[in-house]
Amino acid sequence: MTRNMIFGVVLLMLSAYSCYGPERNCADFKNGKFSFTAEIGGEKLTTTFVRNDSIELDYFQGKVDSSSIRWINDCEYIVKKLHPKNMAEEKSIHMKILSTDNNSYTFEYNVVGSAKKSVGTAIKIQ
């Protein structure tokens, strides 16, 4: 193989790789009913939430909580509790959808102003 052929193959591979990106059909997940399971204190706990564009109702351990949703763009939004019960709940959460699938999305989230980020997956159940 000549040097030009090797260069051409490498260039083709790089251009094909750079075109690959995760699917992000974020608009499909602005509204609906979802579930999210997280491990807290060694125990897996599930929350269910219903989002209607700008309002989200969270159902966790028999309690309902409401939050406002402010969309930054199709794939990022800020969640803020409407009736915080303590200082920690007063802090807004930045959510960023990283990838989507048929009925789920993977997201990254953090307290606004904090560098510590976590990742989760929400499943659309309605």
Contacts of 28 (CB under 8 A, 6+ apart): 100, 124
Confidence of residue 82 (pLDDT cuts 50, 70, 90): very high
Minimal CA–CA distance to 48: which of 63, 61, 59? Answer: 59
DSSP track, 4-33 = HHHHHHHHHHHHHHHH------GGGGSEEE
Give the integer Cα–Cα distance in Å for 68 and 107.
18
Confidence of residue 3 (pLDDT cuts 50, 70, 90): low
Q: Which domains are seen in the chain, by residue range?
A: 24-124 (2.40.128.380)
Indicate whether 59 pLDDT > 80.
yes
Indicate whether 11 pLDDT > 50.
no
Confidence of residue 39 (pLDDT cuts 50, 70, 90): confident
Give the integer Cα–Cα distance in Å for 51 and 69.
8
Give the integer Cα–Cα distance in Å for 46 and 64.
13
